[in-house]
Amino acid sequence: MERTFVMIKPDGVQRNLVGEIISRLEKKGLKIVGLKMLKISLDLAEQHYQEHKEKPFFPKLVEFITSGPVVAMVVEGIKTVSTVREMMGATNPLEAAPGTIRATYGMYMERNVIHGSDSLASARREINLFFKPEEMLN
């Protein structure tokens, strides 16, 4: 079993898509083993997006992800990282395959409603940023 990190971004929370997105993950057969709603601090946002720190869009990323509450999740299943990535679709909702979460609910690149880890290494790092071991089911 793999675990990955999934976050419903402020636009998804604000648009009341939390239940719909969680339902899609669960209907796929994935198990939610950690779940919380939080407002991300500036420090946590900068750690989360550290690989983009030198890119020109970094300040906008941090500003957006700290603009409202998010729902952070640890999701478990077989090949979970690739399954969630496939379900999310391309980063730009206008390029995402029909039926994916981003194609269905995303507005544009900066408002694509969901984040999912892109590798097992990223999943471990992101899970550890957002969750303590005792906050997850075993």
Told to judge if 52 belongs to the known catalytic residues of this protein, a careful annotator would answer no
Out of 40, 115, 117, 123, the active site residue is 115
The answer to whether residues 122 and 7 touch, using CB atoms and an 8 Å cutoff, is no
Which residue type, as a one-letter code, is found at position 97?
Answer: A
Q: Among candidates 34, 5, 18, which has minimal Cα distance to 132?
A: 34
Hey, is 17 helix, strand or coil? Answer: coil
The answer to whether residues 66 and 39 touch, using CB atoms and an 8 Å cutoff, is yes
How many secondary structure helices (H) and strands (E) does the chain include? 7, 4
Active-site residues, by number, are 115
